[in-house]
Amino acid sequence: MHIVPSGDILGARVEGIDLQQPLTQADIKTILIALGQHGVLCFPRQTLDVDAFAAFGSCFGGLEINVANMFHEPNHPEVMILSNIKKDGKQIGLGDAGQGWHTDMSYSQLIALTTILHAQKVPVQNGTPLGNTEFRDMHSAYDDLPADVKSAIEGRTATHDFDKFWEMMRARPGNTRPPLTAAQRAKKPPVSHPIATTHPVTGKKVLYCTIGYVTHIDGMPEKESAELLDFLWRHQDQDKYLYAHRWTEGDVLMWDDIGTTHNAVADYGDNPRYMRRVQVLASLDYPAMVA
């Protein structure tokens, strides 16, 4: 296995490994360390089947079954389908997943360590791949905060709400998502997380506060909370933290859900796109695994 850094603020290619085969403990350690260091890992030219894809994800923690509980591979409720393709007039996958800056599963009490996608069909126009996934580096975003802002957020928590992002997507023209049911809302009530949290692999502080799910800073007056959140969101929106992955069919893309934020670029219209996705809960002892 060879880790080839992108040369940008985030990103690396992982060459010389076949993910259809089981990982060794040494492989898992190497991948975890690289994930913490580079934030986004691309394993190119992978042909693993659904069973192997789920098995790969489970090496790094338990796999989440999405609260919406729809559009998953047969016999694999943990493997969600992200696609704009229709069959017999019906969507076969979630067509608007991730379109807006967020961190996966920050709305859960047990957050995600990583999200993993396997590209089955990549939209292409005039020979150019469409549907990039963009990322921002939250290690660097935290490091660059002014000292007074670091002091203001130290020990503070913010509330994350699944319904905020869901309703934001529903408000877009032409969107067909139904509102969450009462049962779905009950499964994912609002939760609080530290705004500055310690990354379990790197041991460093990261800014864990995205516009997609955060509604307010706990215990802070509404106006003050809104002003501070606006600053944090504008701060992390700077181009110097940005990295974009251009997809190729067969790519397995694994990203750090604690140390990065991401956004799916919806520039492909009806050009077919098909991705498989697993979300890996931060349920293991990562410091021990990389020691």
Q: 80 near 277, Cβ under 8 Å?
A: yes
Bridge-based pairing state of the strands 72-73 and 76-83? antiparallel
Average pLDDT rounded to a whole number, residues 122-146: 97
What CATH number is attached to the domain comprising 154?
3.60.130.10
Q: Is the pLDDT of residue 175 over 80?
A: no
- pLDDT band with cut points at 50, 70 and 90 for residue 267: very high
Per-residue pLDDT, 180: 81
pTM: 0.94
What's residue 209's pLDDT? Answer: 97
15-72 pLDDT per residue, tens: 999 999 999 999 999 999 999 999 999 999 999 999 999 999 999 999 999 776 779 9
Query: What pLDDT sits at residue 172?
Result: 74
The per-residue pLDDT for 177 is: 76
In a domain, 191, yes or no: yes
Q: So what's the pLDDT on residue 31? A: 98
Domain residue limits at 121: 2-283
Asked if the model's pLDDT at residue 166 lies above 90, the reply is: no
Average pLDDT over residues 134-163: 97
Residue 201 within any structural domain of the chain: yes
Average pLDDT over residues 169-189: 80
* % of the chain beyond a pLDDT of 70: 99
Q: Bigger pLDDT: 201 or 168? A: 201
pLDDT of residue 184: 83
Contact (Cβ atoms closer than 8 angstroms) between residue 41 and residue 251: no
CB 245 within 8 A of CB 133: yes
The answer as to whether 291 is a domain residue is: no
- Nearest to 280, CA basis, from 108, 158, 114, 149: 114
Q: Answer whether residue 206 is part of any domain.
A: yes
Q: How confident is the model at residue 11 (pLDDT cuts 50, 70, 90)?
A: very high
Tell me whether residue 202 is in a domain.
yes
Count up the domains in the chain and report the number.
Answer: 1
Say whether pLDDT at 96 is over 90.
no
Residues 208 and 257: their CA atoms lie apart, in Å, by 9
Angle, CA of 62, 63 and 68, to the nearest 5°:
140
Cα dihedral 271, 92, 20, 56 sign:
positive
pLDDT at residue number 191 = 97
Q: Is residue 257 part of a domain?
A: yes
Domain assignment of residue 289, yes or no: no
pLDDT band with cut points at 50, 70 and 90 for residue 188: confident
**% of the chain surpassing 90 pLDDT:** 85
